[in-house]
Structure 1
Amino acid sequence: MRGSELNALWHPFADMGAVDGARLVITRGEGPWVFGEDGTRYLDGTAALWYANLGHGRREIADAVARQMRELDAYSIFGDFANPPALELADRLAALMPAPGAKVFLGSGGGDAIDTAAKVARRHFAELGQPDRVHLIGRGHGYHGTHGIGTSIGGIPANLAGFGPMLEHASSVPHDDAAALEAEIVRVGPDRVAAFFCEPVIGAGGVHLPPDGYLEAVAEICARHGVLFVADCVICAFGRLGTWLGIDRWPVTPDMVTIAKGVTSGTLPLGAVLVAADVAAPFFPGEAGAPVLRHGPTYAGHPACCAAALAALDLYERDDVIARGRELEAPLAEALAPLAGHELVGEVRAGTGFLAGVEFDADALAAEPGLPGRLQLAARERGVLVRPLGRGVAVSPPLVCGQEEIDVLAAALAEGLAAL
């Protein structure tokens, strides 16, 4: 009997014909390891979906959520309502922004944080008397979630295919060419561009590191043309690049930062947009009659999710986890470097943060498009979970890993390539 006749679960980003009857059911997690229903232990080489930075099974977070659920399980923050965890979390997140006075708009995850940032950018300019500034620019290979706006400004063609027309007034530029961004702003017209969306290190698009000077250059271009610079740090924040936000590894000051994933170490869904003081200013005049941003998800400021984030922030601080991304980037790059010599491999991208991409050789991939999936399965057979992405596989292990886990990861990929 086919799996679809046994279970109704429709998996995201999955060939359901291949999934049926072949699910890997994860039942338990402990540190950097997860366990299948048959008891097999796997190294979580992807931190689930780039988010389990603190590893799995952190009782401190579970206990904090349980305490909050017993006190106040859920309540909206629409209008003038609030709750203590949401208030505390907003203040702690605002303090992470490079400049003081930031405001924090809470949400349910990274995708709605991107939509929030885009709508805030457009409304910001509308309040300044520039309603024509609605154009949004993304980058090739960029991934900004699967909501409508995020899909429209993403740079992965397969994610756009088959859905029909997307958002008007959106475009994409090459991911590694600052001059191309300026040319696109000029082509559209600076008085029509609202924001540029930029991952410091592109994650789901294949792990692409920024060229030297790129982030500084695009930040300067945005500032010169009055375009808001939105740093999408959903993957890069909370230690993945060795700093709190990811973008703060570089000497730039973004207008907005989107976060999610690692803010709770993935334990409960929560996202946020950190908005610089001058961008938020039209909505905070200090008196009644301010413009109302008619936007927000139902679960914004959910007290249990905020309690999870507060507990995660405490653990990042207590255990000095944030620095781990930078401490582990060289060992990971060194362990994976030998893979570049394999005849099937075209490039290994690593060295900026605790994440890496292994891309297949173009000719090998043309001859066998299924290589990324085959390498994923080969690594799984060796006890390591990696993520197939486009032209290769990506890794982003929990920040609680050490050299031993890095060696296990590298060995599984090397042996998997040999098996192919």
Structure 2
Amino acid sequence: MTLTEPVAAAAPLLDGPALWPAQAHLPTVLGRQVVIARGEGSYVMTTDGRRLFDGTAGLWHANVGHAHPVLAEAARRQMLTLETYHIFARFVNDQALALGERLAAIAPIARPKVILNSGGSDAIDVACKLARRHWQLAGRPDKTIILSREFSYHGLHAYGTSIAGLDMNREGYGTDSLVPETARVPLHDADQVAKVIAEHGAERIAAIVTEPIQGTGGVNPPHDGYLTELQELCRQHDILFVLDEVITGFGRTGQMFAAQRYGLDPDLITFAKGVTSGYAPLGGVLVAPRVWEAFYRDSPDTPVFRHGATYAGHATACAVALAHLDLLEAERLVPRVAELEGRLRTELDALAARQPGVAEVRVAGFLGGVALVDEIAATDVADDLIELGFVSRPLRGNTLQLSPPFITTDAELAAFVAAVDQAVSARLARG
């Protein structure tokens, strides 16, 4: 095929709904879509009458379950008062102000400032730009490179695409990186990270971005001490340390932030998903004084950081976030996650011990990954689980995702793992 020939020119065009599905290989999706029409607690219901246990909490976000009346009422009440107003320049809305104070009070960063936007990809974009802007203002213009880990996922905006450690998300755009000056470091080896820093030159590196626990990359918990070593390398070489807590923030690890679980003191934390349990699109960045102080000097020469979007600090989204944080406290859901982690570990260890189709299990917080043997495809098992009444997702490394809502009962969790066992056994029996 020459470069001028259209891709798959001889193949027939597929018909289907007008909506273009996200992250989808369309020939294997169209005609088989599962249409979700309703949610209730840890379950979702399809238009064809099926009731499915939501074993992934949507895309890692439905922590308090679906259709919670408290959050629905918070949104309704706020929309009837003020749906939103922007937070540009002199203007701000009261809900955005209140959420900023609330987040600052629970943040694992001392005296943080809070940048609000619409989601995790937005937050990564802002954090990477802010890291580079920080060094420009510090008179170190060569510090522009952003490092990230292999198998990492940081959303799909231009910067998230550029720092992706999953090659499939970065390829196909005519260049190795949509935003120049990015590079990957090994998954768990701090000594190799030090070598990458030496190869590029610490004087050229602005930041290292990492998920505390990788999600889409296969549910990869950090090896003991790795994140601390990574932070120490950043301090040693004057590199900003950025934690992507879009998945782990707001309770998923058994503490409010994974930074607290692992004893970390990052310069920037990105967040989204769990801040509202997905009830409204909201994300942001927690910024340490080291970074924000240059923009807060009382001087006519003080620079402006050009961040902001129409829906940044959206009043209804902020009201929902505030109600959600109240809910986490009132129902003691973060301590419940710590209990669920132990239960999940017990269930998955037992699964790995008895099930020859399971190669490895990984658990950190209420995040589980079940890596299958090569003879069985995680995509097939995920399809089979739907037929059994459970939702999982295939991740990198032939891995199944298990990350149910925080309201999951012990019995529901056991049933979910039992369904995985059943589906894997059935695939093994087919040969």
Q: TM-score, normalised by structure 1?
A: 0.95
Q: Secondary structure at the match of 2:184?
A: strand
Of 295, 302, 308, which residue of structure 2 is paired with 1:290? 302
Which residue of the partner structure matches residue 5 of structure 2?
none
Q: Which residue of 2 aligns with 1:368?
A: none
The partner residue of 2:71 within 56, 61, 72 is 61
Offset at 1:292?
Answer: 0.7
- Write the letter of the residue equivalent to 1:81: F
Q: Are 1:264 and 2:276 an aligned pair?
A: yes
Q: Is the counterpart of residue 358 in structure 1 residue 370 in structure 2?
A: yes
Match in the other structure for 1:199:
211
CA apart distance, 1:235 = 0.3
Q: Equivalent residue of 1:230, what SS?
A: strand
Q: Does 1:21 align with 2:28?
A: no
User: In the alignment, is residue 247 of structure 1 matched against residue 259 of structure 2?
Assistant: yes
1:132-211 paired onto structure 2 within 5 Å: 132-165=142-175, 166=177, 167-211=179-223
Q: Secondary structure at the match of 1:211?
A: coil
1:77–1:300: 8 Å Cα contact kept in structure 2? yes
Give the deviation of 1:180 after TM superposition.
1.6
Please give the alpha-carbon distance, in whole angstroms, between the structure 2 residues aligned to 1:57 and 1:264.
Answer: 12
Number of aligned residues: 412
Indicate conservation of the 8 Å contact 1:379/1:386, yes or no: yes
Deviation (angstroms), 1:6: 4.7
Provide the identity percentage: 43
| TM value normalised by structure 2 | 0.93
Give the residue type in structure 2 aligned to 1:75: Y
Task: Give the distance between the partners of 1:41 and 1:48, measured in 2 at CA.
Answer: 14
Shift in Å at residue 325 of structure 1?
2.2
**Runs of 4+ residues over 3 Å off in structure 1:** 2-6, 286-289
- Which secondary structure does the structure 2 equivalent of 1:323 belong to? helix
1:41 pairs with 2:51: yes
The CA deviation string for residues 198-255 of structure 1, in whole angstroms up to 9 with x for no partner, is 1111011100011111111111111111111001000011111011122211122010
Residue pair 1:3, 1:20 contacting (<8 A) in 2 also:
no
Residue 417 in structure 1 maps to residue 427 in structure 2: no
How many angstroms does 1:3 deviate by? Answer: 11
Change (3 A) 1:4 1:314: farther
Match of residue 97 from structure 2:
87
Q: Which amino acid aligns with 1:115?
A: D
**C-alpha RMSD of matched pairs (Å):** 1.5
| Paired residues for 1:301-380 under 5 Å | 301-341=313-353, 342-350=355-363, 352-362=364-374, 364=375, 371-380=377-386
Q: Is the 8 A contact 2:109 2:266 kept in 1?
A: no
Q: Is the partner of 2:334 in helix, strand or coil?
A: coil
Letter in 2 for 1:14: A
- Once the two structures are superposed, residues 333-377 of structure 1 have per-residue CA deviations (whole angstroms, 9 ceiling, x without a partner) of 111223324333221111x20011111224x26xxxxx1110001
2:339 counterpart SS class: helix
Provide the residue aligned with 1:234 in structure 2: 246
Aligned partners of 2:57 and 2:65 also within 8 Å: yes
Match of 1:406 among 390, 406, 413: 413
Question: Structure 1 pair 323/164, CA: closer, same or farther in 2 (3 Å)?
Answer: farther
TM-aligned CA deviation for residue 196 of structure 1: 0.5
Q: CA deviation at 1:70?
A: 1.0
After TM superposition, give the deviation of residue 98 of structure 1 in Å: 2.7
Cα deviation for residue 96 of structure 1 reads 2.2
Q: In structure 1, which of residues 221, 235, 238 is the aligned counterpart of residue 233 of structure 2?
A: 221
2:394 aligned with 1:388 = yes
Deviation of the 1:126 alpha carbon: 0.8
Mapped partners of 2:86, 2:158: distance in 1:
24
- Residue deviations 1:125-148, cap 9 Å, x none? 111111111100000111100111
Q: Which amino acid aligns with 2:362?
A: R
Q: Distance in 2 between matches of 1:76 and 1:83?
A: 7
Q: Would the alpha carbon gap of residues 286 and 319 (structure 1) be closer, same or farther in structure 2, given more than 3 Å must change?
A: farther
| Alignment check: 8 A CA contact 2:108 2:257 kept | no
Stretches of structure 2 that go unaligned for 5 or more consecutive residues are 1-11
Unaligned runs of 5+ in 1: 366-370
Matches of 1:180 and 1:40, distance apart in 2: 48
| Contact residue 237 and residue 259 of structure 1 kept, 8 A | yes
1:135 maps to amino acid: I
SS at match of 1:95: helix
Aligned position for 2:7: none
The answer (yes or no) to whether the contact 1:239–1:324 under 8 Å persists in 2 is: no
